[in-house]
Amino acid sequence: MKHALPALRPHTGLLSASSRRVHRSLLAATALLSLTVTACAPTPPGTSASNAPAPAALVAACSDGTAGKLALPTDWNAAGASSPAAQTDSTKTATGPSTAVTAGMTLPTVSTPPTPALPTTVTSCDGATVSVTDVSRIVTIDLYGTLTEIVHGLGLGANVVGHDRAASFPEAANGTVVTPSGHDLNAEAITALDPTLILTDTTIGPLEIQQQLRDIGIPVIFFDPARTLPGISHQITAVAGALGVPDSGVDLNKLVGTDIAAALSLVPAENKPLRVAFLYVRGTAGVYLMAGPGSGADDMIAAAGAVDVGTDIGLKMPFTQLTSEALIKSAPDVLLLMTGGLKSVGGVDGLVKIQGINQTPAGTSRRVVDIADDSLLGFGPRTGQSIRALAAALYGSES
């Protein structure tokens, strides 16, 4: 049965790309309540409590987005580890612009599609309690396509009928894109898919659309919007618990953990770590931001054995308006951008014309690394491969 969409409330206009970015940064810096996901099915009629399966452990659906910098789980550090790479002087290993090659990345996926144990009761990150009774038609929507990756990795990709535009990996090709204009939701496109469940977070909106979808009876779960390297395992566990496939969550975390540990073990040990500045730019929209602590790029830069200069010079926000003073002070060896962002300013030739760029070591040597928009900040099952690609581009080697 199709869901009828009520009349939309008046909407005065969507946030600009810059405003959305600042809004997401503020959300990530605000302490959220620690909420739980319950993956337990009720005891079937006629089954005694003593014979019923033990209830699954509660799983936190949300966390403080600023407190995600925890040590990687010990099994991630050990799995796939090898002897440290030989030390090198990173300032001499690569020159000029390069692209992190992510086209050949594959999605780690559990070997056997699971059978969900339903219903589950989920405490959504917005405080609502959501009952999940049917996962046959799932819509996944967040800024980076992370939730779509996770559901596919859990072996339930065939159930994803709609997703955001950022989910551009091959396995998602059969799903319908419900954000055709970019990062903004299209309610009619979602309801046309007759979804039985929507997985989302606060990185995409307008948020009134998700609420309207919930108001017409579609279960909508908000997950943690924070994206960090150590938070990947938590996000996988939370989604798996909500979908009633906690064992698949364990299996996927093993695959992803081994992949990340192997990537970390291949990163060169630097005598003089590279200083990397991540710039979020959208030239056509006039957006020029420099990343700092909590941006997600800081985790990826550290994983690749380098120093995030925004954090190093004391920026306080995940993203701060780019200034020539900050660029010159940070003295980056490498400028890291998303491929789409670099293209929006006219490539490397256009980038070096931005005030302050040519007064940095990276600008004078044109050491610019770009990486696919969906590969740097998604922090999903393919992140280990993104680390490998980033390290290879930074150091001019096949990591």
Question: What is the average per-residue pLDDT within 309-338?
Answer: 96
Residue 311 scores a pLDDT above 90: yes
| Low-confidence winner among 21-25, 256-260, 342-346 (lowest mean pLDDT) | 21-25
Where exactly are the structural domains of the chain? 37-42+56-62+107-257
- For the stretch 223-233, pLDDT in tens is 999 888 888 99
Check residues 170 and 196 and name the one with the higher pLDDT: 196
Question: What is the average per-residue pLDDT within 53-74?
Answer: 46
Give 168's pLDDT tier (boundaries 50, 70, 90).
confident
- For the stretch 179-223, pLDDT in tens is 877 678 889 999 999 999 999 999 888 999 999 999 999 999 999
From the list 399, 267, 390, the residue with the least C-alpha distance to 338 is: 390
Mean pLDDT of all residues belonging to the chain: 80
d(CA 44, CA 358): 68
Residue 16 scores a pLDDT above 90: no
Residue 65 scores a pLDDT above 50: no
Q: Which CATH number fits domain 37-42+56-62+107-257: 3.40.50.11540, 3.40.50.11610, 3.40.50.1980, 1.10.3720.10?
A: 3.40.50.1980
Check residues 43 and 299 and name the one with the higher pLDDT: 299
Give 60's pLDDT tier (boundaries 50, 70, 90).
low
Question: What is the average per-residue pLDDT within 103-116?
Answer: 95
Torsion of CA 56, 127, 154, 101, to 10 degrees: -140
From the list 275, 375, 273, the residue with the least C-alpha distance to 334 is: 275
- For the stretch 19-46, pLDDT in tens is 343 333 333 332 222 223 332 223 333 3
From the list 349, 336, 335, the residue with the least C-alpha distance to 377 is: 336
* Residue written as token pair 């659906």: 61
| Neighbouring-strand partners of residue 129 | 123
Query: According to the model, what pLDDT value does residue 374 have?
Result: 85
